Amino acid sequence: MKKITINEFFKSSEKLAIYPRNRKNANALSKAFDKKLYTWRSGARYTIRKLYDVYGNKPCYDNDRLCSCVDFYKRNGYTIIEFKDVDLS
C-alpha cells in the first residue's frame, strides 16, 4: 500500500485522522507538520501542543487541523490512518 503524504492528508476532502499510537510517533508527526508549514486551526505550530498530556495514549490529528481522542474519530466515521502509513518526508 502506498503511504499517504502529509500534503495529501491535509488536502483530502475525506474525513481523515492519523493515530500515532505513542509519544515518539506523535512528536515526529508534529515536527513533520511544522516542517511543511501546517499549523493548528488556531495558527499555532503543531509542536507547541502536546496531545499526550491531554488525551493519554489515544490522541489523533485530523485533516481539519484539530485533534481529539481516537475513539471520537472512530464514532464519527473518520478513516483512521496508522502512523506507519504516513510519509513524513
DSSP 76: T
CB 20 within 8 A of CB 31: no
Look up the pTM and report it.
Answer: 0.93
Could you tell me the pLDDT band of residue 1, with boundaries at 50, 70 and 90? low
Looking up cell 490512518 gives: 81
- Count of the separate structural domains present in the chain: 1
pLDDT in tens, 7-38: 999 999 999 999 999 989 999 999 999 999 99
pLDDT in tens, 43-68: 999 998 777 777 877 999 999 999 99
Alpha-carbon distance of 29 to 11, in angstroms, equals: 16
Domain ranges, residue 38: 4-87
